[in-house]
Amino acid sequence: MFYTRKEAEEGEWEWKKRGLKKTYYALYIAGLNDSISTTEFLEENYNSQIEIKVFNFVTHKYDELPIDYDIKSLGELYGQSGSRSGRFQYEKNDLAFCGFIGPEHISTEKGIKVKLISHGLNNMNCSGFAWFDYIYLAPGTSSGKINVNTASQRILSSLKGVDQNIAKNIYLGINSFDKAVLKPYKVVTDLLDVKGMSTKIYADIHNLITVRSDQFRVNIIVQTLKDVKKAEKSQGKQDYKVTSTRSGSFILDRQKLTSILPDKKKFDVIMDM
């Protein structure tokens, strides 16, 4: 945890040996939301603003977030692009989505280095503090993710911090008003609206869940047909006769095909049944 009461103060942090792969990540910053002013008709966010820069290990300079990678699949995965102002504020869920970082921001020690700059502390409606509790990265692709749209309560309850009640709420799509209206989830951040979900639980499970599936079982039946009317001048109701049939069942994986960094242009057949 870090905090400051000085306007425009800079702080630098580096995480090493985190096992990060050189790919694209969504970067989030988390901290207590402490300066929301709510009236009967209006709600204003007066949380301090935080400018975030990430070190580029190729250019050896800091890149300011958000970075426009113009990669369609990034937006499809997370459903948002981050603030275009370059300054981020915590929302009601105590989080701020800051955009994406790329392979060039991952060090040879498999970590990252960031710089945070505080702004807006002098606003009379602000608490006068700027801080963050932690930063975490959500990779666009990884194997073995659980589809929260199709998983059973039993599977959901195996996730860290997810008890039986939260698992039931995820399974049914129940929000904080006890309404089952959240499913189907369009992006994983929709889970923050689930009754009982906290930012701590979400941070622990974010990299383990998805709202789509990459593996499918495909059953194929192929038949050879004979035109009965043309060949036999039949007057019956059946126009075609099946002369041969062949069937097959396959399990296909599209993960590499839809990855942010695809290395293949076709499905992988992982089982021929």
Same domain, 114 and 167: no
Q: Which of 139, 161, 191 is the last residue of a domain?
A: 139
Find the mean pLDDT for residues 213-242. 75
Same domain, 85 and 104: yes
pLDDT for residue 1: 59
pLDDT in tens, 180-222: 999 999 888 899 999 999 988 988 888 788 887 777 778 889 9
Find the mean pLDDT for residues 2-16. 91
- In terms of residue numbers, what domain contains 115? 2-139
pLDDT for residue 260: 62
Which of 217-238 are b and which e, b meaning 16 or more Cβ less than 10 Å from the residue's Cβ? eeeeeeeeeeeeeeeeeeeeee
Q: How far apart are CA 243 and CA 246, in angstroms?
A: 11
Which of 53-73 are b and which e, b meaning 16 or more Cβ less than 10 Å from the residue's Cβ? bbbbbeeeebbebbbebeeeb
Same domain, 76 and 93: yes
Tokens standing for 18? 């985190």
pLDDT in tens, 108-156: 999 999 999 999 999 999 999 999 998 988 876 555 678 999 999 999 9
CATH (domain of 189): 1.10.150.320
Task: With 0.85 as the threshold, say if the pTM is over it.
Answer: no
pLDDT in tens, 28-54: 898 888 888 888 778 888 999 999 999
Q: Which of 139, 166, 193 is the last residue of a domain?
A: 139
Count structural domains, the chain: 3
Q: What is the mean pLDDT of the chain?
A: 85
Q: Which of 195, 210, 225 is the last residue of a domain?
A: 210
Same domain, 253 and 178: no
Same domain, 96 and 190: no
Same domain, 134 and 242: no
